[in-house]
Structure 1
Amino acid sequence: MEITQIRSFLAVAETLHFSRAAERLHLSQPALSLQIRALEAELGVRLFERNRRKTEITEAGAVFREEASAALKALDRAAARARQAAAGRIGCVRIGFISTAAALVVPPLVTRFRATHPEVELEMRHALTAEQIEGLRRGEIDVGFFRMPAAPGEGIATVEVHRERFRLFVPAGDALAAMAAPTLRDLDRRDVLIYARRNAPGFHDLLLRMLDDAGASPAALHEANDMSSLMSLVAAGVGAAIAPASVGQFGPPGVVGRDLDGLPPSVVVMAHRADERRPAVRAFVELVAAASA
């Protein structure tokens, strides 16, 4: 049984006129008649009663029309969905992100993607840098947003999507809060708060190198597992923190931020598997890359 036979049958069933149905299908009437006879032979039933005056659908034909019409509509939907999937218009993209990327970087990119791909499901997950890298390697997420430096490993590609300056965050009553232009050297022999190494080894080590390059030897280093906790500890007077400027949004009252000049910017990247083949994921990656170019 062929799809063309089903379409021909439905055209005749609707018009009850072979000539008009043939015209609609851009077929000759003899060709249409051959298709209907072949379909009837395969089914083993008569679908139409016809004579020179009129064509009538049989009871078997009426039942077949109802089922065939539903099946053809389902088949047309399946074909359309397949084309949408191939074009990246449907599917699922699993996105991991660090907290600061969720606040600044990810929302406008997601909004832009949703405008052009409204039927693609986006599964959003807050995850630490180390968790995202492992998730990309295991195939548990498709795209990650985290800060550099990091070592995603072979097969993981990155695209820079955001950069910002580092700031020094101190309690409001700290002497550094009143300084016009504090430097990292001013943290020598002071307690310093830093992002936990197990969560983002590359970022953690970058901060330590910056302190070392500035000739600052902290009296003690205190690690925080997330940026919100880091800022809360600053407010509590535990120490001063070096962090990207956007971390200031997590700061409770009593935390003061000061610009730090002469430091490299903090860079956020989008990471994805270099050999990614799924169209929806590729569409998201391409949109982000174009928006960040």
Structure 2
Amino acid sequence: MLAIAAMNQNDDCVDLQQMRYVVAVAETRNFTRAAERCFVVQSSLSHRIAGLERELGVKLFARSSRRVELTPAGAAFVAGARECLAAADRAAADAAAATGVVRGRLAVGVIVTTAAVDVPELLQRYRAQHPDVRVALRSGRSDELAAAVRDGDLDIAFLGMPENERPSGVESVVLAHDEHVLVVPAGHRLAGVSQVTLRETAEETFVDFVSGTPARAQSDQAFAAAGLVRDVAYEAGVVELITRLIARGLGIALLPSAFIRPRATDDSELALVPVVDGPHRIEYLAWSRFNPSPATRAMLDVLGVGAPSTGS
């Protein structure tokens, strides 16, 4: 990497602060916002980056009065700089952990329908024990979050998968099993019935998650297994939007019961109906199988998972 090579050529050439400045500009595409992020005046940040460019003999950024973009050399430098900064942060966290203090950053991925764990309550307990750890939360699809854990972009993630699948390439533990319920408008013909089958719903218009996602696959697989085809007229990535569409009478949906029941209890516009042959889902906790950080190990302890395995 350009950043590592530069340090090898001249120990005084690149320091961690310069790397942080360059990464901040690359991410914000703005010198002023980068300076604010780094808690430094813009003139100082600009001066340090200009000095670094002179030392390296390359331009890291293409600048104009309105735009800031990475050059090819800058993109190569940022990739190496991120690796160096992550290694430095990990070294500091490991040193602190050796004295019994957990520090650093914990990146947590959460699906929008997490129900097995009360995430805010969990973070409250975690902070009470480890106040020096900074937590970054990221929501998304289960497959995207699992990939981010594999790539090292997330430390842990709370996932929901169809019952015949499990996260691949990561350590994981089952948190809960759940089944879907049918969510319909309060005035719908199926509202109030004791239970339904998928066949009884197949002619209805559906609202569901985006096609190709694990959240959508849970329902798609159940209908396919029953030999049924349904009409999904509306796709959304946010549960709140799905339930609002249902309340407007635009369709019905199958949603995880543990997630939707508490939210539908006080909503007179929605009715929940058990589904005899409906989808099932498993909620997982996933984390990297490669050398978890002290902050990750501490979270696993809070969750009662114990020491992570080093096997495949």
Bucket of the pairwise TM-score, normalised by the shorter protein: 0.5 to 0.7
Aligned to 1:182: 196
SS at structure 1 position matched to 2:149: helix
Residue 197 of structure 1: SS of its match in structure 2?
A: coil
**8 Å contact from structure 1 (residues 171, 237) kept in 2:** yes
Residue 87 of structure 1 deviates from its aligned partner by: 4.2
1:103, 1:255 → 2: CA distance? 22
Asked if the contact 2:107–2:136 (Cα under 8 Å) also holds between the matched residues in 1, the reply is yes
Structure 1, unaligned runs of 5 or more: 1-78
Query: Counterparts of 2:240 and 2:262 in 1: how far apart (Å)?
Result: 9
Tell me, yes or no, if the aligned pair for 1:193 and 1:221 is still in contact at 8 Å.
yes
Q: Is the 8 A contact 2:198 2:277 kept in 1?
A: no
Query: Counterparts of 1:69-80 in structure 2 under 5 Å?
Result: none
Aligned to 1:90: 103
Q: Could you tell me which residue of structure 1 aligns to residue 248 of structure 2? A: 236
The equivalent of 1:144 in structure 2 is: 157
Deviation at 1:86, TM superposition (A): 6.0
- Do the aligned partners of residues 233 and 264 (structure 1) sit closer, same or farther apart at CA in structure 2, a change above 3 Å counting? closer
Question: Contact 1:147/1:269 (CA < 8 Å) preserved in 2?
Answer: yes
Is the 1:86–1:279 Cα contact (8 Å) retained in structure 2? no
Aligned residue number for residue 303 of structure 2: 288
Where does residue 259 of structure 1 map in the other structure?
A: 274
Which structure has the bigger radius of gyration?
A: 1
Change (3 A) 1:262 1:85: farther
For the Cα contact (< 8 Å) 2:219–2:279, is it kept in 1?
A: no
**Is the CA contact (8 Å cut-off) linking 2:177 and 2:280 kept in structure 1?**
yes
- For residues 151-203 of structure 1, give each alpha carbon's deviation from its aligned partner in whole angstroms, at most 9, with x where no partner exists: 6432x1211223333110001111110322122221122212221134x2x33
Residues 80 and 228 (structure 1 numbering): CA distance in 2 closer, same or farther, change over 3 Å? Answer: closer
SS at match of 2:191: helix
Matched, 1:120 2:133: yes
The answer to which structure has the higher helix fraction is 1
Runs of 5+ consecutive residues of structure 2 not aligned to the other structure: 1-91, 307-312
Q: Taking every aligned residue pair, what percent have the same amino acid on both sides?
A: 26
The correspondence of residues 30-41 of structure 1 with structure 2, limited to 5 A, is: none
Contact 1:85-1:91 at 8 Å conserved across structures: no
Would the aligned equivalents of 2:198 and 2:278 in 1 still touch at CA under 8 Å? no
For the residue of structure 2 that corresponds to 1:165, the secondary structure is strand
**Distance in 2, Cα, partners of 1:102 & 1:264:** 16
Distance 1:138 1:179, change over 3 A: same
Amino acid at match of 2:293: R
8 Å contact 1:171–1:236 — kept in the other structure? yes
Deviation at 1:107, TM superposition (A): 2.5
Contact 1:276 1:282 in 2 (8 A): no
Spell out, residue by residue over 1:33-64, the C-alpha distance to the aligned partner (whole angstroms, 9 max, x if none).
Answer: xxxxxxxxxxxxxxxxxxxxxxxxxxxxxxxx
Matched residues in 2 for 1:87 and 1:157: separation? 25
Pairing 1:99-138 to 2, within 5 Å after superposition: 99-101=112-114, 104-138=117-151
Q: 1:138, CA displacement in angstroms? A: 3.1
| Distance in 2 of aligned mates of 1:275 and 1:224 | 34
Cα pair distance change 1:220/1:227, threshold 3 Å: closer
Secondary structure (helix, strand or coil) at the match of 2:253 reads strand
Distance 2:93 2:173 in 1: 32
- Aligned equivalent of 1:218, options 230, 247, 270: 230
